Amino acid sequence: MSKVHIVVSRTTARAETGATLPLPDAIPALAATVNTGAASAVAAIMPPLSGLQCHVTAIGGSVWLAFGTGSDPTADEGKGWLLLEGETRSFGVEGAMRLAAKDAVL
């Protein structure tokens, strides 16, 4: 069994040197660590805000991820995103999107 650590935050462009550097806000809109398993399960429902980024880290094993709106998405091999153990990836998301996760057997 693996876990996913999920942090959802707004991202703001900071430009102190003239170049734009997008940085996540220090206070997240949502943060949770969720166990994953052999079956796909909804791990998070995004807060009803716009302009969000979802940062996901795979802990203890690789995982499949799937995002969706409306009905629950299904994370599975060959669908969505694969995060290898220890990898963190960021995604642009909209409010009320759902994130499903499932252990990946590689």
Given this model, what pLDDT does residue 34 score? 95
Measured between alpha carbons, how far is 8 from 78 in angstroms, rounded to an integer? 25
Given this model, what pLDDT does residue 6 score? 96
Measured between alpha carbons, how far is 17 from 33 in angstroms, rounded to an integer? 35
Per-domain residue ranges for the chain?
3-103
Tell me the sheet residues that pair with 103: 63
Confidence of residue 47 (pLDDT cuts 50, 70, 90): confident
Which tokens hold the place of 99?
């994130």
Is it the case that residue 11 has pLDDT exceeding 90?
no
Is it the case that residue 18 has pLDDT exceeding 80?
no
Given this model, what pLDDT does residue 21 score? 79
Q: Give the sign of the dihedral formed by CA 96, CA 98, CA 84, CA 56.
A: positive
For the stretch 52-105, pLDDT in tens is: 999 999 999 999 999 998 778 999 998 899 999 999 999 999 888 999 999 999
